[in-house]
Amino acid sequence: GAVVSQHPSRVICKSGTSVKIECRSLDFQATTMFWYRQFPKQSLMLMATSNEGSKATYEQGVEKDKFLINHASLTLSTLTVTSAHPEDSSFYICSASRLAGGLTGELFFGEGSRLTVL
């Protein structure tokens, strides 16, 4: 199956610093990638939809200036948590879709990145 790789898998940073998380589709081109946030023992919350070559679309309540998303190529999307604070600590998961015949394709998920802000 398709592979989506996320890096880093774990990151610890000091409050006030910025952290970048990469999401790569390794064996297919993904025009659309999605970023999710998962709080402990909770479901995935869609943060934003990342479209190659255009601005990301953020879900209601997600601060676009806090969570910067860049989708510079068909295989790479990045999420930058700017001026991170302890409440930003979470498990961030990216996913990519490979369209099949014009239908909605399944989502392929990265391994997730656990961010801890001290």
Partner 1 sequence: AQSVTQPDIHITVSEGASLELRCNYSYGATPYLFWYVQSPGQGLQLLLKYFSGDTLVQGIKGFEAEFKRSQSSFNLRKPSVHWSDAAEYFCAVGYNFNKFYFGSGTKLNVKP
Q: Is 27 in the site for partner 1 (CB under 8 A)?
A: no
Return d(Cα 19, Cα 79) in angstroms, integer.
8
Which CB atom, from 11 or from 82, has the smaller least distance to partner 1? Answer: 11
Of the candidates 80, 91, 90, the residue with the CA atom closest to the CA atom of residue 18? 80
Q: Give the max Cα distance, the chain.
A: 46
Q: Minimum CB separation from partner 1 for residue 109, in Å?
A: 4
Instruction: Select the residue interacting with partner 1 from 52, 74, 89, 112 (CB under 8 A).
Output: 112
The pair of structure tokens assigned to 53 is: 């070559």
DSSP helix/strand/coil, 86: helix
Touching partner 1, residues 32-91 (CB under 8 A) = 32, 34, 36, 42-44, 46, 49
Of the candidates 20, 14, 28, 117, the residue with the CA atom closest to the CA atom of residue 69? 20
Q: How many residues bind partner 1 (CB under 8 A)?
A: 26
Binding segment (CB under 8 A) for partner 1, from list 12-20, 61-69, 82-90, 97-105: 97-105
Which CB atom, from 15 or from 42, has the smaller least distance to partner 1? Answer: 42
Angle at CA of residue 106, ends 22 and 45, nearest 5°? 55
Residues making contact with partner 1 (CB under 8 A): 1, 4, 6, 32, 34, 36, 42-44, 46, 49, 93, 95, 97, 99, 103-112, 114
